[in-house]
Structure 1
């Protein structure tokens, strides 16, 4: 949402694409949040709701401070741009945390240690690569430093993920096959059944 603030004409003029694309992304992410809130249980729903409200509070506070206390496009772009760089880098780094440590069924493991990319989705890595590449090209054409820095780093992080997928593709398949032989179930094998369907299929008394 901070990128929407950055793309506003009163903050960073002539950034229509930044504003509209990130607005569309915000709507999609809002749908994800709503679905999570609807289908999650009490404690998880409360935690997600608090995080969401905290996010709104941060964006609202930043927007108010920038618009009230800074009166030039340069200053507004500087403040919001720096925050966008920080949060965008964190976003790109998030999938890489599985490289070092992932808590799965109380067993501490990592991609490098286990030589498995089972819990680092290829689709996410490819999407991050394409996103980073497109925004880097766009930023270089306009030479927008605040868009160039995080997306160039994101592009490099995504390439790292893709390299790991290439290196550990075979070993991942072997580990999954071995686990299935032993009758073990991984997170990627779990099927979530709708409770309503389950109750509907139960025999009536």
Structure 2
């Protein structure tokens, strides 16, 4: 025996870059699945809106915020902002989200009262104009892709905060009425699940612009779930 431990030559277990890429891809797929469930969660709500031909005091803010969030992150994931197709899962699911949210906001607008339509237009029209203007300016006037990514990611961060914070409008209604009718369980649950997975996706790729907004989404999702089960 030479006195050397048989474990002396073993190397610490670490994840290789390839393993991290595979993990990130898998988490991205799971994030896509969870996000799809999140986007489809309001279907039952809007089915009821159609049946009753009324928005029943539901707020349009969460759906407008989610639409804008999906638009920005679809743009963020495209090669014009990100490096090649490194964020393909972000593009695919947010592109699908855009289609769902457009459907929801159109249904909301169609069945809303005159007052609700006025509020809807005051929020929606300026937001879409600002998004389109910003996309044109940043795409054609800012040629440094790294700065462009940082700015688009920053806009996405602000919109994500708005999106995750918008259910607080419903939380206020829930507390006032002591009823969870205006805060569907599946919307709260899938919001928490989605934010958790995309936070992991961003951290695995060292992309704080993707991870940061979901750090807020997780506790807000937990808050909604706790409120749901305590009423």
TM-score norm. by structure 1 comes to: 0.69
C-alpha separation in 2, matches of 1:80 and 1:141: 20
Alignment of 1:94-105 (within 5 A): 94-99=166-171, 101-102=172-173
Residue among 95, 98, 112 paired with 1:23: 95
Deviation (angstroms), 1:118: 4.5
1:114 to 1:35, Cα distance in 2 relative to 1, 3 A: closer
Residue among 222, 225, 229 paired with 1:159: 222
Deviation (angstroms), 1:46: 4.7
Alignment of 1:21-100 (within 5 A): 21-99=93-171
Structure 2 equivalent of residue 133 of structure 1: 196
By relative contact order (CA 8 Å, sep 6+), the higher-ranking structure is: 2
Q: Which runs of 5+ in 1 are unaligned?
A: 103-109, 173-205
Alignment length, in residue pairs?
159
Please state whether the residue corresponding to 2:199 is helix, strand or coil.
helix
1:120 to 1:41, Cα distance in 2 relative to 1, 3 A: closer
Q: Which runs of 5+ in 2 are unaligned?
A: 1-70
Structure 2 equivalent of residue 120 of structure 1: 183
Deviation (angstroms), 1:39: 2.6
Deviation (angstroms), 1:48: 2.7
Structure 2 equivalent of residue 196 of structure 1: none
Structure 2 equivalent of residue 11 of structure 1: 81
1:66 to 1:129, Cα distance in 2 relative to 1, 3 A: same
TM-score norm. by structure 2 comes to: 0.62
C-alpha separation in 1, matches of 2:122 and 2:222: 33
C-alpha separation in 2, matches of 1:54 and 1:141: 35
C-alpha separation in 1, matches of 2:178 and 2:122: 36
C-alpha separation in 1, matches of 2:150 and 2:94: 19
C-alpha separation in 1, matches of 2:120 and 2:107: 11
Please state whether the residue corresponding to 2:156 is helix, strand or coil.
helix
C-alpha separation in 1, matches of 2:169 and 2:108: 22
Deviation (angstroms), 1:122: 1.7
1:116 to 1:46, Cα distance in 2 relative to 1, 3 A: closer
